[in-house]
Amino acid sequence: MKISALQTARAAYKPKLPPGIQGGVKVVEGKQTQSVADQKEIQALFPKTYGLPVITFQAEGQRAQLPAFNVGVILSGGQAPGGHNVICGLFDGIKSFNQESRLYGFLLGPGGLVDHKYVELTGDIIEQYRNTGGFDIIGSGRTKLEKKEQFDKGLEIIRKLNIKALVIIGGDDSNTNAAVLAEYYTSINAGVQVIGCPKTIDGDLKNSSIETSFGFDTACKVYSEVIGNIQRDCNSAQKYWHFIKLMGRSATHIGLECALQVQPNIALISEEIEAKKQTLDDVVNYIADIVVKRAEKKNNFGIVLIPEGLIEFIPAFRALISELNDFLAAHGDEYAKVPKNEQIQYIIDHLSAENSKIYASLPVGVARQLTLDRDPHGNVQVSLIETEKLLGELVGRRLAQLKSEGKYSGSFSTQYHFFGYEGRCAAPSNFDADYCYSLGTNAALLIASGKTGYMSIVNNLTKPSTEWVAGGIPITSMMNMEKRHGEMKPVIQKALVELEGAPFKYFAAHRDEWALSTCYVYPGPIQYFGPSEVCDQTTITLRLEHQ
Amino acid sequence: MKISALQTARAAYKPKLPPGIQGGVKVVEGKQTQSVADQKEIQALFPKTYGLPVITFQAEGQRAQLPAFNVGVILSGGQAPGGHNVICGLFDGIKSFNQESRLYGFLLGPGGLVDHKYVELTGDIIEQYRNTGGFDIIGSGRTKLEKKEQFDKGLEIIRKLNIKALVIIGGDDSNTNAAVLAEYYTSINAGVQVIGCPKTIDGDLKNSSIETSFGFDTACKVYSEVIGNIQRDCNSAQKYWHFIKLMGRSATHIGLECALQVQPNIALISEEIEAKKQTLDDVVNYIADIVVKRAEKKNNFGIVLIPEGLIEFIPAFRALISELNDFLAAHGDEYAKVPKNEQIQYIIDHLSAENSKIYASLPVGVARQLTLDRDPHGNVQVSLIETEKLLGELVGRRLAQLKSEGKYSGSFSTQYHFFGYEGRCAAPSNFDADYCYSLGTNAALLIASGKTGYMSIVNNLTKPSTEWVAGGIPITSMMNMEKRHGEMKPVIQKALVELEGAPFKYFAAHRDEWALSTCYVYPGPIQYFGPSEVCDQTTITLRLEHQ
C-alpha cells in the first residue's frame, strides 16, 4: 500500500495527553448531576444510571496494572477527523493497564455489533492509523441501537469476546443510544459498561461539560482553507459572486466558525433567520442589498456562506414543506398521473394561498425537486435542494427588478460551491489529534474505573494541553425530552448557535464592515510542523466562548 | 487588515534562487532557434525577433550596478499560485541593479496598459504579498493585446512612465501576444523590451524549454488534498460514487497529475478518449463496467476524476455541438418561438440522424443546457454543462439496464464535485514560491541584458534549487501556425497529455489495479515548514518526465 509523504511523516507524531491521565490516576467525584430538563421523566427512564456525579482524573503515582480486559469500539454516524486517534488512544490506554487486554472493532457502525461483524484491532493495524483522517479502520454506519433485540443480540458477541466495555464514538443521537444501552446492560446486570465519545464536525454536541466535539476544528479549517482560496480568487478576478454552501443541517456552527476565520461579505446564520422569523424574500433582499451597495463601489464580486440547513429554519418555507408532505401523502397517486409539464401548476392550484404563492415564486428546478424527489417515507428531500443555486437565482431576479427600477447598475455573475465531504476525513489538526487521543485514553480510564453511561470529556481546551483536564460526565445529565417521529424521547439537547453567545456577537458586530469593505482573511492549509501560533490554535468559536 | 497566522509566518520565507542568478551573471548564448513548425510563416511574421539564441545565465562576480530603469508588469488571464512571487522577484531584481529603478503594475490585466490604469509597486506594497496566493496585488484580466491601436495606446503610458520593459505573466495566448508586442516595439524602434513568464495551472504551457508552468504544482496539490479527503470519506462510508470534475478545458494535465497523486478508481484522460475516437457511450460503459466489477466485491463506492474539457474531446459530441451551433445560428428565431415543452423534440426533429440520436439520449437537463444557454457569439456554452452529473446520470441508466438483465446487483449512489477556484489562488507551495521568485528575478536579468521577445525560464526543476539553471528562450521558437476563429495565426503550441509520455504510461500501467482494488493515497494539505520530503517535492508528472 502506497502512503503519502505527509502521512508517513505524520505517523511519528506523538499526541499530547492531559497531565492528569498520563500515569496513575485518582478519581475525583464532583457533585451529583441532574438532566438539563425533564428530570422526572429522564430519571424514570434511566433509574440505574441517572444522577451520577461528574468525575475528573487527577495524576497520582504510576499507572495501575489490572487483570486484562477486552473492549469493543464502534464508530457511529458521519465521519469526523480524529476518530482514528480516539481508537489509538483507547488501544494504548487499555494496553497500559495490561498488555494482554484486547480491543475489538465492530465493523461499519453499530450494525457490526448486532450482526457480529468485527475485527481485533492489533498493534500492527493500529500503527497504520495513528494521526490519520477517516473512519476506514473499521468503517462507520448509521444503524440506530434502540431496540432490546439489538441489545440482546449485541450481548451475545460481547459475551463471546469476553468484552467488558463498549466505547461508542458518535454524535448526540449515538450518545443518547449509548446511554440507553448502558442503562439496559446495568438493569439486567450484564456487567458490560458503555462509554461515549463526543464526535461531530457539526459542532452541535456541546454544553457546559463538553467544550467542543472532535472533528469540528479540523473540518472548519479545511473549509476555511478552500473558502479563503476562493476569496483570494474572487478578489483577484473581481467578477464573480461565489455562493458557498457548507455542510451542517441542524446548526450553523460550521458556517459561523468559517465566517470568523475568513471574514466573507455575507454569512447566513440559520438560527438568527429563524429567531427573526425571516422569509425567503427577506434573505434574498438582504443579500441583494449588499450586492447593490458593493456594486456602487464597483465591487461586483463577493462571497456568501450558506448553511446547508438554511431553508428548514425559514418558518414560511418549513410550512410549505409540511403542507407539501401532507398533500403528497394524501394525493400522491393522483399527482403521479398529472402530465409532467402541468405538475407545477397542479401543485400551485392545490396548496393553501400562502404556500401556493411561495411555491409559485420558486425557480422551476427547485419547485420540481420539491415534488419529484421524495425519501422512502414519502417526504420531500430538503437536503437535495441546492440552496446555494436557489438563492443565487432569486438574488439575480431581485437585481434584475432593481435594475429595471434604475436602482442598480452592476453586473452579477455567480459561481456555486458545496463543501462537506472535503473536510470530514481530513487528517486531524494537531488540536484534534491531541484531543481525540486524549478522549480515547480517557475512555480506557473510565472503563478501568468501572464507569458506565458516561461520556469521555476533556476540558480547558483553549489552554495548552499541559492544562487540560480529563474526566467523565453522565450522559443522562445532558438529556431532555423531545418529540421525535411523533413520540416523546429522551435525547441529548442539540447545541444551536446562541444569538447571545460571544461568537455570534463578534460576527454580528463586524459583518456590516465585512459586507461592504473587502476584509478577506486567507487561513491557508492546516500546518502540522510549523510555529505553534500556526499549528496549535483551535477554533475562534472556542476561543471566544472561553475567553 | 487582518492577516492569518500562516500568512504572517509565511511572509518571512526567503525563496531560493538558482545559483546562476544570485549575483553577477554572464550571458551564455546557445544556438540559434527555429520555430517548432511553420518556420517560414513565423519568420515572416517576426522578422526582428525570430531565430534568436537560447540563453542561460552563469554566475560571475558581483551584481552589476546599472543606471536606474523602470519596468511595467501585467498579470494576464486566470489566476495561478505564485504570481505575486514573480512580481516580488522582479521587484528585487530590478532594485538589485539600482535602488532607484521602479516597478509599475498595470491593473486588472492587459487592459490596464491600454487604459493607462496602473499603480507603482513600492517596497511597502511588495512586502505584503511575498509568498501569498492570488493576483490581487494588481488584479488580472483577459483583454487580449492583439491590435496595433492597443500597442500604440500602451506606448503612450510606457513613454510617460519612462518604462524600459514590460513583463507579461500569462499562459500560451498571453505569451503569444507578448511576442507580437515585442516584435512590434522592435520594428518601430520604440526601445521597449517585452519579456514573458510561463503561467497556468493547466500545465499545458510546456515544451523542450519550459519544464512546467508555474501554479500547476500548487493547484494540483490543493485538488489532490481535497480529492484525497473525499477518497478517505468514500472508503470510510462505503456508500457513494464520487464524480469529481477538475478545472482545465484544453488538456488533462491536472487530471492526470491528481490521478498519479491520489490513485482513484477511474480517471478519464480527454486526450486518450479523442485518440481512441471514443463515444459518450464508450466512456459511460467503461465507468459502468468498473462499477459492476467493484460491486461484485461488495465495493459499492468509488472515485471518478473527470477533466472539465472532456466532452469537447469526444469526436461525436463535438460534431453534435457543431451542428447545434450552425442550426441555431440559422434557425434561432424560429426556435425561440417553439413552446418550452416542445423544444427538445423540435431539435431532435431537425438534426441529422446521427446527432439527433445522441441529442435524444441526453438527460433532459443537459439537452436544455445545450440549446438554451448560448454565449454572446450565439455558441453553445459547453463549459456550463455539468459533465460530472451527465456522466453520473448516464452511468446510472446503464446500470439500471444491466440490473434488469441480471448482470448487476449493487447499489449506485452519487455525489458530485467540481474543483477549480479552490486551487488557483492558494498560497504557493515551496516549489512554486521558489520557481516564481526565480522567474521574476530572472526576468529582471533578461531586461538588464537587453533581451526582448524572450520568455523567462528556469530548468532542472526536479533537482534541488542549487542545481537550477535560469535563462531565456525566444518565444517565437515555441510557435506554429494554427487556425483561430477561421484565420491562421502564429501561436505557441499547447502541450496536451502525451499518450507516449512517461506520466500517462505510468497511469495506464496502474489504472486497472486502482480501479478494482482500493489503492487510495491521501496526500493531505500542502506543508510549508516540515521535513523536506513532505514540503519540497514537486509534481509526479515532472518527476516522471525527467527521470
- A347 pLDDT more than 80: yes
Tens of pLDDT, residues A227-271: 999 999 999 999 999 999 999 888 999 999 999 999 999 999 999
Distance of CA A42 to the CA centre of its chain: 25
Percentage of chain B surpassing pLDDT 70?
100
- A330 pLDDT more than 90: no
Q: Is A196 helix (H, G, I), strand (E, B) or coil?
A: strand
Catalytic-labelled residue, pool B202, B204, B217, B432 = B202
Instruction: Kindly state the average pLDDT of the residues B76-86.
Output: 97
- A12 pLDDT more than 80: yes
Q: Which of A244-258, A432-446, B6-20, B374-388 has the lowest mean pLDDT?
A: B374-388
Give A547's pLDDT tier (boundaries 50, 70, 90). confident
Amino acid at A51: G
Q: Does B495 touch chain A (CB under 8 A)?
A: no
Cβ-based contacts of A300 with chain B (< 8 Å) = none
Q: Which pLDDT score, from 0 to 100, does residue A406 have?
A: 97
- B60 pLDDT more than 90: yes
Q: Which pLDDT score, from 0 to 100, does residue B484 have?
A: 84
Whether B4 sits inside 8 A of A521 (CB atoms) is yes
Neighbours of B349 (CB within 10 A): 9
Whether B4 sits inside 8 A of A524 (CB atoms) is yes
Residue B42 CA to residue B225 CA, distance in Å, equals 42
Q: Is B427 helix (H, G, I), strand (E, B) or coil?
A: coil
Mean of the per-residue pLDDT values of chain B:
95
Spatial contact of A73 and A178, defined as CB atoms under 8 Å apart: no
Query: Which residue in A has a C-alpha nearest to residue B5's C-alpha?
Result: A534
Cβ-based contacts of B142 with chain A (< 8 Å) = none
Residue B111 in marked binding region: no
Angle at A282 between CA A278 and CA A286, to 5 degrees: 125
Residue A204 CA to residue A198 CA, distance in Å, equals 10
Whether A425 sits inside 8 A of B229 (CB atoms) is yes
**Which residues of B, range 111-170, sit inside 8 Å of A by Cβ?**
132-136, 139-140
**Which residues of A, range 226-285, sit inside 8 Å of B by Cβ?**
226, 228-230, 232-238, 242, 261, 263
Residue B546 CA to residue B460 CA, distance in Å, equals 9
Residue A435 CA to residue A417 CA, distance in Å, equals 30
Instruction: Kindly state the average pLDDT of the residues B349-369.
Output: 90
Q: Which pLDDT score, from 0 to 100, does residue B430 have?
A: 98
β-strand A53-59 against A469-474: which pairing, if any?
antiparallel
Residue B292 CA to residue A92 CA, distance in Å, equals 40
Q: For residue A117, what are the CA distances in angstroms to A161, A220, B354?
A: 12, 33, 53
Tens of pLDDT, residues A170-213: 999 999 999 999 999 999 999 999 999 999 999 999 999 999 99
B202 is catalytic: yes
Give the nearest partner residue to B140 out of A236, A524, A528, using CB atoms.
Answer: A236
Q: Which pLDDT score, from 0 to 100, does residue B160 have?
A: 98
Give the nearest partner residue to A534 out of B5, B132, B233, using CB atoms.
Answer: B5
Residue B308 in marked binding region: yes
Q: Is B331 exposed, middle or buried (0-12, 13-18, 19+ CB in 10 A)?
A: middle
Question: Phi and psi (nearest 5°) for B5?
Answer: -60, -40
Which segments of B37-171 does DSSP mark as H helices, in order?
39-45, 83-97, 111-114, 123-127, 148-160
Cβ-based contacts of B235 with chain A (< 8 Å) = 134, 136
The grid coordinates of residue A131 equal 494521526
Tens of pLDDT, residues B476-509: 999 999 998 888 999 999 999 999 999 999 999 9
Cα dihedral sign, A177-A180-A186-A187: negative
Whether A425 sits inside 8 A of B233 (CB atoms) is yes
Cβ-based contacts of A432 with chain B (< 8 Å) = none
Q: Which pLDDT score, from 0 to 100, does residue A384 have?
A: 80
Residue B248 in marked binding region: yes
Residue B183 in marked binding region: no
Spatial contact of A526 and A429, defined as CB atoms under 8 Å apart: yes
Residue B100 in marked binding region: no
Residue B253 CA to residue B200 CA, distance in Å, equals 11
Cβ-based contacts of A530 with chain B (< 8 Å) = 6, 9, 528-530
Percentage of chain A surpassing pLDDT 70?
100
Please name the residues in contact with A70: beta carbons below 8 A apart, sequence gap of 6 or more.
Answer: A101, A102, A103, A104, A161, A162, A163, A164
Residue A494 in marked binding region: no
Whether B522 sits inside 8 A of A2 (CB atoms) is no
Give the nearest partner residue to A233 out of B2, B226, B424, using CB atoms.
Answer: B424
**Distance from B59 to chain A by nearest Cα, in Å?**
33
Determine the topology of domain B20-215+428-484 in CATH.
Answer: Rossmann fold (3.40.50)
Q: Which pLDDT score, from 0 to 100, does residue A536 have?
A: 94
Give B366's pLDDT tier (boundaries 50, 70, 90). confident
Q: Which pLDDT score, from 0 to 100, does residue A380 have?
A: 79
- A133 pLDDT more than 90: yes
Query: Which residue in A has a C-alpha nearest to residue B523's C-alpha?
Result: A4
**Distance from B238 to chain A by nearest Cα, in Å?**
8
Q: Fold match between A20-215+428-484 and A224-424+501-545?
A: yes
Q: Which pLDDT score, from 0 to 100, does residue B410 have?
A: 97
- A375 pLDDT more than 80: no
Instruction: Kindly state the average pLDDT of the residues B212-238.
Output: 97
Whether A427 sits inside 8 A of B524 (CB atoms) is yes
Give A215's pLDDT tier (boundaries 50, 70, 90). very high
Q: Domain segments of chain B: what residues?
A: 20-215+428-484, 224-424+501-545
**Which residues of A, range 504-543, sit inside 8 Å of B by Cβ?**
519, 521-531, 533-534, 537
Residue B423 in marked binding region: yes
Tens of pLDDT, residues B399-445: 999 999 999 999 999 999 999 999 999 999 999 999 999 999 999 99
- A contact test, residue of B7, B10, B229 with most A CBs within 10 A: B229
Q: Does A294 touch chain B (CB under 8 A)?
A: no
**Distance from A60 to chain B by nearest Cα, in Å?**
36
Whether A133 sits inside 8 A of B522 (CB atoms) is yes
Cβ-based contacts of A523 with chain B (< 8 Å) = 4-6
Give B382's pLDDT tier (boundaries 50, 70, 90). confident
Q: Which pLDDT score, from 0 to 100, does residue A331 have?
A: 87
Q: Which pLDDT score, from 0 to 100, does residue B339 have?
A: 85
Q: Does A445 touch chain B (CB under 8 A)?
A: no
Q: Is B473 helix (H, G, I), strand (E, B) or coil?
A: strand
Cβ-based contacts of B233 with chain A (< 8 Å) = 79, 134, 421, 424-425
Query: Which residue in A has a C-alpha nearest to residue B226's C-alpha?
Result: A422
Mean of the per-residue pLDDT values of chain A:
95
Whether A237 sits inside 8 A of B521 (CB atoms) is no
Cα dihedral sign, B313-B315-B317-B319: positive
Instruction: Kindly state the average pLDDT of the residues B254-282.
Output: 97
Assigned CATH for B224-424+501-545:
3.40.50.460
- A220 pLDDT more than 90: yes
Q: Is B311 helix (H, G, I), strand (E, B) or coil?
A: helix
Query: Which residue in B has a C-alpha nearest to residue A421's C-alpha?
Result: B230
Spatial contact of A248 and A223, defined as CB atoms under 8 Å apart: no
Give the nearest partner residue to A229 out of B340, B425, B534, using CB atoms.
Answer: B425
Q: Does A337 touch chain B (CB under 8 A)?
A: no
Residue A196 CA to residue A86 CA, distance in Å, equals 11
Q: Which pLDDT score, from 0 to 100, does residue A485 have?
A: 80
Instruction: Kindly state the average pLDDT of the residues B171-191.
Output: 96
Tens of pLDDT, residues A274-300: 999 999 999 999 999 999 999 999 999
Give B375's pLDDT tier (boundaries 50, 70, 90). confident
**Which residues of B, range 30-69, sit inside 8 Å of A by Cβ?**
none
Query: Which residue in B has a C-alpha nearest to residue A261's C-alpha?
Result: B4
Whether A229 sits inside 8 A of B136 (CB atoms) is no
